[in-house]
Each structure stands twice: as structure tokens, then as C-alpha cells.
Amino acid sequence: MDEMCWLVCCLVGGCMLTRVLSYENLALNKSTWKQGDSCGANRAVDGQKTSLSVYGTDCLPSTYTKTVEWRVDLGNILSIHHIFIQYATNNKQWDANNSLTKTFMGFSVYLSNTTNKEDGVLCFRDTIFSKATIPNPVNITCPYHGRYVIYYNNRTHYPYPPDYSDTVAGALCEVEVYGCPIQGFYGESCSITCPRNCQGGHCHILKGTCLGCDDGLTGPTCETIQTQTNVPDDNKDPDTAEHLGHMLIFDIAHAVSILEPRESPGIDSTPVGTSSLLSLVSYATNVSAKGPITIVSKDGASLCGAFCAVFNCMQQINMDDSVDVFTTVRQLQTRRPEFCSTLEEYLLVYRALYDYIGTISQNIYENM
């Protein structure tokens, strides 16, 4: 299957060229290894399976041993959908009378991030096939992430199940590993971006759920911030209670509430102007009166920096009737250097404070 195709969508007023990814044979012509020596190991990924003879050049050289192990290196940790395996048949009918069937029975397939199969996940282990039922070729669903696909079989634990041979053969003619050629995408056409907080950009190739979360986050799509009560026990060290991943724990004796800008009445997440910023600060101030809160920003450090600067400056104005904005921001930057790091962020803070002071002055005038 092609790595990608180009879809031309013609709409009213013009055409749009869109790249559409699809499941690709990620193993084709990749680096291989087999137990004993690597002579001919690449035959299983060369795309050739015209002749299925163990004596030909399309299949791995066949030796009959007690164990066999073969692997292909995909080059990167990628999202896999399924694995296709074509065994040698000696160009004879594949049924119970084919002498090769019993040498493949009991095989296992692993997907690992290392060359050690025990470090990975078991995609499939045969415990059910007989000489009459073992399929060839065989398709194995394995919706995980990994770099190495490892084929393994053995005859090391006697007595063997019925129909099993005394030795195994590694006569693989072709192993095709289908999945997304670029990490960070999922779906049948590999065109949907994984949730942004998935660890390493890895998500389930069909469902899109994260296979791991960035620090401090949890949930199927890693959108929930961990609180002190839902983080793993080994992360509840009092010495590190103040900072836990991306979350600041103000008081481990209290639950941490979550407030997102989009949840505030009448506030859009982006773009943020002085009015919405002041409304957010006011709303957060009121909510925080009930207990500690954490502000979750969809705009990253830009909105976080402006929010913290305005919040602190407003507190200073309420106490002293004056504020040194530059000093307040510099104090923030000693802990978070990325806060208010651009002129635009500084101007947003100044404009918000100017509007805030104007509101205070108007209220004083109206109450005179």
C-alpha cells in the first residue's frame, strides 16, 4: 500500500490539494536480524513472495533447530495496526498433509521498543492451531506502538502438544507490518492528529486514546490534570508536593479545583483581550475564595503569564493603591522565565490594568 496519496478536492471557487496518509508496509526493505546469523534475513522484507520454496531466494534459509528468532527494525517507534506473515509452503497445497505446517505451530509475535522481546507486548501466541487449521498467510492484529517486530518459536519444553514437530523452522517468506508511517496520527487513513498531550505523540491507532500522558495529566486523551488524590502513590513525596508535573499544589490538605477559561461565563478561550482577561481574573478571584484553584490555559504560557501578572498587580493595587508592574513581572519571571516574555504580553497587562483602574475610578465617581 502506498505511503501516501494526494487527494484533490475541487470546491466552488478553486481546488485544494490535500495529503492523505494510509496504512503502509513499514517493514519493507528495513534492517533485519535472525538467530545464528543474519544471512538471508532480509528476504522476509524484500517484497518478494512469488516462490514459496525453502530452497528458493524469496524465503529465509531454512534450518531446523530447537529455537528460532527473527526481527525487523522499523527505524522508529511507530503506530502498528496489523502484521502479515507468509510462510514457506514448498509451493505445495497448504493443508494437514504439508510437512511444513507442524514446524510453524506454537509461534509468537512480539512488538517491542528494544531488541528484547520480553520488553515488548505479545501480539499473538499460537495455542490453538492444528496442522489442518494453521493459516498461511496469517494476519495478526497488534494495535500498539513499537520499533521491533519479533517472530519467535521453540521446541524446548517436552512433551509437545499434538501435531507439533520436534524442531522449528524459520522459513518466513514475507513479513509485512502495516501502520502509520508518521507518528502522532491515527485513523484508517492516518490523517487524524493524536491528542496533543499524549506522551511522545503516541495514541491508539483506531481509537485515538493516548497510550501514555505527559507529566501531570491523566485521562483517555490526557486532558485531566492530576490532583494530589489521583496521582500515583510514589509521586506523593512531601518534599515535591509543591510542584507535581505541570500542576502547582498549594496545600496538600485541600483538593485542587480546575478552572478553564472556556468555562468562565462569556469568555472565549482565544483571542484574549483586556475585557475577557479582567473577567477571568475576577471570576478566578471569586472562585478561589472557596479554596485553592489551578488555572488551565489553552493558550499556554502567553495567557498564563498575563493572567498571573494582572492578578498580582490587581492585588497590589487593592492593598497599596499603586503598583510597580515591571517589578511584579520580574518577580514572576524568577520562577517562570517564559511569562510575559514578549512586548505584546506586556502591553496586554498594561492595557488590562489601565482598564481596571478606569473601572475603579468610575465606581468612585458614581458613589460620590
The C-alpha cell at 70 is 527473527
Same-domain pairing of 163 and 307: no
With a cut of 70, say whether residue 261 has pLDDT above it.
no
Same-domain pairing of 149 and 50: yes
Residue at 275 is within a domain: yes
Interval 194-211: pLDDT, tens: 998 898 888 999 999 998
What pLDDT does 3 receive? 40
The C-alpha cell at 112 is 517491542
Residue that terminates a domain, selected from 127, 152, 179: 179
Contacts of 154 (CB under 8 A, 6+ apart): 66, 67, 68, 106, 168
With a cut of 60, say whether residue 298 has pLDDT above it.
no
Q: What percent of the chain has pLDDT over 70?
A: 71
CA–CA distance, 176 with 48 (Å, rounded to integer): 11
CA–CA distance, 146 with 71 (Å, rounded to integer): 12
Interval 118-162: pLDDT, tens: 999 999 999 999 999 999 999 999 999 999 999 999 999 889 998
Residue at 48 is within a domain: yes
Residue at 205 is within a domain: no
Contacts of 280 (CB under 8 A, 6+ apart): 261, 264, 267, 272, 307
With a cut of 60, say whether residue 32 has pLDDT above it.
yes
Same-domain pairing of 149 and 257: no
What integer is the mean pLDDT of 239-261? 40
With a cut of 70, say whether residue 232 has pLDDT above it.
no
Same-domain pairing of 166 and 36: yes
CATH number of the domain encompassing residue 328:
3.90.190.10
Residue at 118 is within a domain: yes
CA–CA distance, 267 with 271 (Å, rounded to integer): 10
Residue at 11 is within a domain: no
The model's pTM: 0.58
Same-domain pairing of 165 and 252: no
State the average pLDDT for the chain: 77
Q: What percent of the chain has pLDDT over 90?
A: 39
CATH number of the domain encompassing residue 119:
2.60.120.260
Residue at 31 is within a domain: yes
Domain span holding position 73 = 24-179
Same-domain pairing of 126 and 267: no
Interval 330-340: pLDDT, tens: 777 666 676 77
Same-domain pairing of 260 and 172: no
What pLDDT does 331 receive? 75
Same-domain pairing of 341 and 261: yes
With a cut of 50, say whether residue 270 has pLDDT above it.
no
Same-domain pairing of 164 and 250: no
Beta partners for residue 86, in sequence order: 174
The domain total for the chain is: 2
What amino acid occupies position 97? N
Least confident range of 188-192, 238-242, 250-254: 250-254
With a cut of 90, say whether residue 282 has pLDDT above it.
no
Residue that terminates a domain, selected from 179, 199, 229: 179
Q: Where are the beta strands (DSSP E) in the chain?
A: 4-11, 14-21, 24-25, 31-34, 64-65, 67-87, 108-112, 121-125, 138-141, 145-154, 168-169, 172-179, 185-186, 192-193, 217-218, 224-225, 243-244, 247-248, 257-259, 293-295
Same-domain pairing of 249 and 139: no
Residue at 5 is within a domain: no
Interval 53-101: pLDDT, tens: 988 889 998 778 999 999 999 999 999 999 999 999 999 999 999 999 9
Same-domain pairing of 148 and 260: no
What pLDDT does 98 receive? 95
What pLDDT does 318 receive? 72
With a cut of 70, say whether residue 11 has pLDDT above it.
no
Residue at 110 is within a domain: yes
Residue that terminates a domain, selected from 163, 179, 195: 179
